[in-house]
Amino acid sequence: LSCSNASYSDDQQVSAYGRHATAAEALQLGIVDEVTDHSAVDAAVKFAQSVAGKSLDARRISTYPCPRSPDLAEIFEKAMKEVRRSARGAIAPVTCVQAVHASVTLPYAKGMERERELFSTLFTSGQAHALQYYFFAQRAVSRWSTPSGARWDTSKPRPVRKAAVIGLGTMGRGISVSLAQAGLSVVAVETQEKQLLEAKQAVSGMLERSAKRRGVPLADDKIKYNCSVQAVADVDLVIEAVFEDMALKKTIFQQLSGICKPGTLLCTNTSGLDIDELASQTQSPELVVGMHFFAPAHVMKLLEVVYGPRSSPEALATAMEMGKKMGKVSVAVGNCRGFVGNRMLKPYLEQAFFLLEEGATPEQVDQVLEEFGFAMGVFKVSDLSGLDVGWKVRKADGLVVPGSTGKSARIRGGSRYSPLGDLLCEQGRFGQKTGRGWYQYDKPGGRVAKPDPWLHRFLEEYRARHGLVARRIDHQEMLERCLYALINEGFQILQDGIAAGPEDIDVIYVLGYGWPRHRGGPMFYAGLVGLDKVLERLEHYHQVYPDVLGLKPCSLIRKLAASRADESLWLWCLKCAQQLALCSWGSSRFCDEVQMRVTKQRAQLRSFPDATARLERWGDAWITITGGFDCNTTRRLSYVLFLFLLDPGNVGMATSGAHKCPKSEKLDEAQALAKSCAGRPDFLPCDGLSICATHSHGKCFKLHWCCHLGWCHCKFVFACFNDQSGSIRLKTQRL
Q: Which of 340, 443, 360, 433 is nearest to 391 (CA)?
A: 433
Amino acid at 231: A
Digit-coded pLDDT (tens) for 321-360:
999 999 999 999 999 999 999 999 999 999 999 999 999 9
Secondary structure of residue 131 in the 3-state scheme: helix
Q: Which of 623, 476, 484 is nearest to 561 (CA)?
A: 484
Q: Which residues contact 507 (CB under 8 A, 6 or more apart)?
A: 134, 137, 138, 141, 302, 329, 331, 521
Residue 497 CA to residue 687 CA, distance in Å, equals: 27
Strand ranges across the sheet with 302-307: 223-226, 185-189, 162-166, 237-240, 265-268, 288-293, 302-307, 329-334
Beta carbons of 570 and 531 less than 8 angstroms apart: yes
Q: What pLDDT was estimated at residue 633?
A: 39
Digit-coded pLDDT (tens) for 508-542:
999 999 999 999 999 999 988 988 999 999 999 99
Q: Which of 416, 399, 290 is nearest to 347 (CA)?
A: 416
**Across the strands, what pairs with 185?**
162
DSSP, residue by residue, 198-228: HHHHHHHHHHHHHHHHHT----GGGEEEES-
Amino acid at 9: S
- Strand locations in 134-191 (E): 162-166, 185-189
Secondary structure of residue 732 in the 3-state scheme: strand
Secondary structure of residue 379 in the 3-state scheme: helix
Beta carbons of 91 and 516 less than 8 angstroms apart: no
Digit-coded pLDDT (tens) for 133-192:
899 899 999 999 999 999 999 999 999 999 999 999 999 999 999 999 999 999 999 999
Q: Which of 487, 584, 140, 505 is nearest to 334 (CA)?
A: 505
CA distances from 654 to 648, 713, 731 (A): 14, 14, 10
Beta carbons of 508 and 331 less than 8 angstroms apart: yes
pLDDT at 721 over 60: no
Q: What percent of the chain has pLDDT over 90?
A: 59
Beta pairing class for 716-722 and 185-189: unpaired
Beta carbons of 734 and 716 less than 8 angstroms apart: yes
Position 242 confidence tier, pLDDT thresholds 50, 70, 90: very high
Q: How far apart are the first and last CA of the chain?
A: 32
Beta carbons of 343 and 337 less than 8 angstroms apart: yes
**Across the strands, what pairs with 730?**
623, 720
Beta carbons of 289 and 307 less than 8 angstroms apart: yes
pLDDT at 546 over 80: yes
pLDDT at 197 over 70: yes
Pick from 113-127, 662-676, 686-700 the range whose average pLDDT is largest: 113-127
Position 217 confidence tier, pLDDT thresholds 50, 70, 90: confident
Q: What is the pTM of this model?
A: 0.76
- Give CB contacts under 8 A, 24+ apart, made by 284-288: 284/257, 285/310, 285/311, 286/310, 286/311, 286/312, 286/315, 287/263, 287/312, 287/315, 288/253, 288/315
Digit-coded pLDDT (tens) for 598-643:
222 223 333 322 222 323 322 222 233 333 333 333 333 443 343 3
Residue 353 CA to residue 478 CA, distance in Å, equals: 11
Maximum distance among all Cα pairs of the chain, rounded to whole angstroms: 91
266: part of which helix (H) or strand (E)? strand 265-268
Beta carbons of 627 and 531 less than 8 angstroms apart: no
pLDDT, average across residues 667-694: 37
